[in-house]
Amino acid sequence: MTDQTEEEFLKKYDPTKYRTPDGYTADIAVFTIAKDNSFINEEQTTSRVLKLLLIKRGDNDSEGNPNIEGNKWALPGGFIDPGETAYEAAIRELEEETKVTNIHVQHFNVYDKEGRDPRGWIISNAHYAIVQEKLLESRKGSDDAKEVALFSIQDVFKLDLAFDHNQIIKDALAFITRDMLETTVAKNFLPQEFILSDLRDVLLAVAPASVLGTKSSFFRKAPTLPFIELVTNKDGEPKMTVPTKESKRPTRLYRFVDYQSVHTIYR
């Protein structure tokens, strides 16, 4: 044991004794739910499909150098700038890639296995984001991207994906499925005021119908959930939708309310 102070120790500390990463990145799995009549679930009740935004990497990067894993599809993301956290970098990269802000972004895992990137030991901090489809209409890629496109989950895994993004996407899908069923994150796919059938359709885009139960049981239980409330007008009467060609009958509107859920295996 020595008598040196912490300040004295830090002056002598040699970080070169330890191996450090060759790079630190943030990747973002950007999910949206879109209407697609070519996909209908087993109950034939919804054509809403969970889709993922991917970037096709160009042949060259923004500086004209050969792009690593060029011509492959990849998650949007990039290197973390000095002074940034991984979460801040994910927010920045997402805005640069999609031009959208103030959306739900959630960290879910770190990928640090050596060999995952040909450039060296590159560590990725992975996040998922939820974006309403209309916000992605003007999507565009960064300077080193050839294309930006939305793919159904079924089609994603048919693509030639860069790096270890196949595994990252599988993990992101597992996390968003869990969060959709165990939290109120589904509200990010919906307008502030919604009808219960739209909520069920959004959930069915991620989870099998067997998890939600029958339509009648869902519509019976949903209004009693502590994080959903009926929207009323100034007279306290239920606010209703305006009839359309598709929905000729007025339907009650609901909204999410703040709620902190606590899950335990002991209850």
What positions carry a catalytic annotation?
147
Q: How far is CA 266 from CA 135, 262, 263, in A?
A: 41, 11, 9
**Contact, 101 vs 95, CB < 8 A?**
yes
In eight-state DSSP terms, residue 81 is P
**Contact, 168 vs 128, CB < 8 A?**
no
Strands 23-35 and 122-130: parallel
Tell me how far apart the alpha carbons of residues 137 and 242 are, in angstroms, rounded to a whole number. Answer: 26
